Structure 1
Amino acid sequence: ERLPCHKSSVCSRSYFVLVMVFFHVYILNVIALLFYVHYSNGQEDADRVRDALRSQHQHQHQHQHQHRRPESGSPPSKPEFPRHVPLSRVEGIRVGHVQRVPLVPGRVHEMRTLSLKPLLFIPGFLSEEECRVVMQLAQLKGLMESQLMVQHGQEELAKEINLSPEEIFNLLDINQDGQLQLHEQILTHSRVRDGIWLTPENLREIYTGLKADKDGNLLSLEEFRVLSNDAFQRFLIKRGVKRSQLVRNSRHTWLYQGKGAHQVLQDIKAVTRLTRLPATLVDLSEPLQVVRYEEGGHYHGHHDSGPVYPETACTHTRIAVNGSTPFETSCYVTVLFYLNSVEGGGETAFPVADNRTYDEVSLIQNGTDLLDTRRNCNKSNLRVKPTKGKAVFWYNYLSDGRWVGEQDEYALHGGCVVTRGIKWVANKWINIDPDYERQVRFQQLVSQHAEDEDNEGLTLNSDMQSP
């Protein structure tokens, strides 16, 4: 018999509910599966980096033993390169975004994005005790002047770069009008002169003293010739150079952080967790630089690392390349620690942070030089106030998706003049060669050298213990 109408409706409704339940369970399973795949891939990436580094170490170890004990009649093996290890890179998401990161056991730090160009972060990092120990260790070792005036003239400089005065003038004449405007003159003498930062007023004073610039504004080729000899340098030496006229007015020292170093210095190497880079790369970078800026101290605008050129090798990997190759500093990441809170001034300024475009000429407009941190820090797009224990870090290079990419020009920065008190900072530069294979060769050579030293030490100890 046919079921009554109301019973049939109940059955249909129950069937519909049952179908919808199964459908939602299916959707939830799909979402869960997607999450599982996503995080599994993230873990696999981390495992892949770890496996590659382990593989690299094994390759180095095998190569060293083959080098020491070659089999009879077999040719020396060629160094093997591990598969390409992608460089980890912290994502900024957006300005103001906060990430919680476990940097040291038992403590979670908050890392805030300050800008995207350059990719700049700020976390709290060092304790008050750690700051005190680093400053005391630096004082114990002794600090030296950070900037010294190099005593050579324009003639020697012209010989080094192998260009005639006419060729130099033509290159500096940006708009090719046959004359150097004031901003072109500033780029000429404020950037080329080693160690000295000259303001427009300084230039006018020197031009007047040398009777070079007759109209007081534009510089012709004939007038430029007067400045293209040692007269310029001799005038500076005779006139005297004040500390405030140096590009960098500070004192500094270097503190080793490896095995045998003070425990606080070794603990600060937790920077590896901050940057998420392999510890191998951080360990082979420069020591910790500690800098003291007294009242009036400053550091004019600069980049921590230069552009990438195929013919240029990195300073830290010089042992892995031809000695005649020109060298450039290559700091992939800069980590800046503030060791004390400054009473007045001393901010770290980023003049063009998050600008829409970057143009070197536009840095000097209408008599305002954005690179001049003694005068124009307040015109920078971003300033970070020094506070004890705080750290800021940024990338000096972009990423090509696998390794080091082009220079990030927006990473231009400087230290504003200290108006009151003393400023203590520490710099940790993580050096990575943009050429992947060159970086690996460098690591292999360092590893081999370290193992040779260990073996020599073992042999020496066994000899000392012999009758």
Structure 2
Amino acid sequence: MDPRLFLLISLCFLVQSSHGKESSLKLTTGVSSAALDPTRVTQISWSPRAFLYRGFLTDEECDHFIDLAKDKLEKSMVADNDSGKSIESEVRTSSGMFLKKAQDAIVAGVEEKIAAWTFLPVENGEAMQILHYEHGQKYEPHFDFFHDKANLELGGHRIATVLMYLSDVAKGGETVFPNSEISFKQKKGNDLSDCAKQGYSVKPRKGDALLFFSLHPDATTDNASLHGSCPVIEGEKWSATKWIHVRSFEAAPTRSKSDCADEDPNCTAWALKGECEKNPLYMVGSEDNAGYCRKSCKVCSS
């Protein structure tokens, strides 16, 4: 499905959620059964588009994630803007590790809840990352969408991020949006750190989940989605992050450039709208892999 359609569907659902209607979505599959309650969702901002779900995770789910991660933590890395490779940086001083997708029934169940809440497919998500911040550790403001071509090859841009808080934090550790249009509306009391006062901020609370979009509904990048994790002042911070892409993040079989075909029924319409030039990696392809719409982009012969 066109990723822009997914954006519009999820936006409509979240608008309805923010109106406080009493309803719930029952999700039942082979691995879990979970109830989503839109009345617990608060719309924080439209620029960036951000929503807070109170009590998204149970205490048991939070504790389970920490137990899975605490003996496997390594220094967190960042993506290099030019090469796309993971490198060490003082911009990010936490430690973390990645779970496997559907690693166990609890992990799979939470992944399903995320897909149901966001209206974005499970296969579009990366493996969940568990992060641990000790005193003074932080992640300076950054974007979750990519600046390099390498990371766009699989899954395209990150369309949305779901940040789940696995613990309370005595002081500090807030998630801050420095470019938020409503920063001035938030009361800057003593309960917020100095870092958190530099934008609109969300205090970590065990079980809560923050959803924000890195792309506009037209699939262009949103500079208002700049965000960071403020230094922990007292206590420690545990969180789990799920990054979701515009396409499947599961590796697809390499397609041959000798095949002149379209892999998506929307290719013709996308080509007429100029997507061959705007999104060449997906539409046309790269040196290593053929694109999904080579025929409509007229880069091959039938």
Give TM-score scaled by structure 2 length. Answer: 0.66
Larger radius of gyration: 1
Q: What SS class does the counterpart of residue 62 from structure 2 fall into?
A: helix
Q: What SS class does the counterpart of residue 383 from structure 1 fall into?
A: strand
Kept in 1, the 8 Å contact 2:3–2:246? The answer is: no
2-side partners of 1:398 and 1:119: how far apart?
8
Q: What SS class does the counterpart of residue 131 from structure 1 fall into?
A: helix
Q: Could you tell me which residue of structure 2 aligns to residue 302 of structure 1?
A: 142
Whether 1:112 aligns to 2:42 is yes
Equivalenced residues, count? 233
Whether 1:285 aligns to 2:215 is no
Q: Could you tell me which residue of structure 2 aligns to residue 395 of structure 1?
A: 213
Q: Could you tell me which residue of structure 2 aligns to residue 347 of structure 1?
A: 174
Q: Could you tell me which residue of structure 1 aligns to residue 262 of structure 2?
A: none
Please state which structure has a larger fraction of its residues in helix.
1
Q: Could you tell me which residue of structure 2 aligns to residue 422 of structure 1?
A: 236
1-side partners of 2:10 and 2:36: how far apart?
22
Q: Could you tell me which residue of structure 2 aligns to residue 89 of structure 1?
A: 10
Q: Could you tell me which residue of structure 2 aligns to residue 74 of structure 1?
A: none
Please state which structure has a larger fraction of its residues in strand.
2
Tell me which of 315, 327, 330 is aligned to 2:151.
315
1-side partners of 2:48 and 2:232: how far apart?
24
Whether 1:121 aligns to 2:51 is yes
Tell me how far 1:95 sits from its aligned partner.
Answer: 12
Give the residue type in structure 1 aligned to 2:94. Answer: S
Give TM-score scaled by structure 1 length. Answer: 0.44
Q: Could you tell me which residue of structure 2 aligns to residue 413 of structure 1?
A: 227
Higher RCO (CA < 8 A, seq sep 6+) = 2
Whether 1:268 aligns to 2:110 is yes
Structure 2 unmatched ranges of 5 or more:
28-33, 184-192, 248-277, 291-302
Describe how 1:108-187 pairs up with structure 2 within 5 A.
Answer: 108-109=37-38, 110-123=40-53, 124-140=55-71, 142-147=72-77
Kept in 1, the 8 Å contact 2:4–2:217? The answer is: no
Q: RMSD over aligned Cα, in angstroms?
A: 3.8
Tell me how far 1:432 sits from its aligned partner.
Answer: 1.8
Tell me how far 1:376 sits from its aligned partner.
Answer: 4.5
Are the structure 2 counterparts of residues 432 and 392 from structure 1 closer, same or farther at C-alpha, using a change threshold of 3 Å? same
Tell me which of 321, 337, 358 is aligned to 2:164.
337
Are the structure 2 counterparts of residues 97 and 418 from structure 1 closer, same or farther at C-alpha, using a change threshold of 3 Å? farther
* Superposed CA offset, 1:99-157 (max 9, x none): 654264455242110011001001121000000111101124x0100149x9xxxxxx9
Q: Could you tell me which residue of structure 2 aligns to residue 102 of structure 1?
A: 25
1-side partners of 2:11 and 2:171: how far apart?
32
Q: Could you tell me which residue of structure 1 aligns to residue 282 of structure 2?
A: 438
Tell me which of 81, 91, 107 is aligned to 1:247.
91
Kept in 2, the 8 Å contact 1:96–1:114? The answer is: no
Tell me which of 366, 378, 386 is aligned to 2:204.
386
Tell me how far 1:288 sits from its aligned partner.
Answer: 0.3
Kept in 2, the 8 Å contact 1:345–1:418? The answer is: yes
Structure 1 unmatched ranges of 5 or more:
1-51, 53-82, 151-156, 162-193, 197-245, 321-328, 357-374, 446-467
Tell me how far 1:268 sits from its aligned partner.
Answer: 0.6
2-side partners of 1:101 and 1:299: how far apart?
34
Are the structure 2 counterparts of residues 112 and 331 from structure 1 closer, same or farther at C-alpha, using a change threshold of 3 Å? same
2-side partners of 1:255 and 1:406: how far apart?
29
Kept in 1, the 8 Å contact 2:177–2:201? The answer is: yes
Are the structure 2 counterparts of residues 94 and 299 from structure 1 closer, same or farther at C-alpha, using a change threshold of 3 Å? farther
Are the structure 2 counterparts of residues 376 and 343 from structure 1 closer, same or farther at C-alpha, using a change threshold of 3 Å? closer
Kept in 1, the 8 Å contact 2:50–2:210? The answer is: yes
Give runs of ≥4 in structure 1 deviating > 3 Å: 91-101, 103-107, 433-437
Give the residue type in structure 2 aligned to 1:254. Answer: F
Are the structure 2 counterparts of residues 135 and 314 from structure 1 closer, same or farther at C-alpha, using a change threshold of 3 Å? same
Kept in 2, the 8 Å contact 1:94–1:113? The answer is: no
Tell me how far 1:285 sits from its aligned partner.
Answer: 2.7
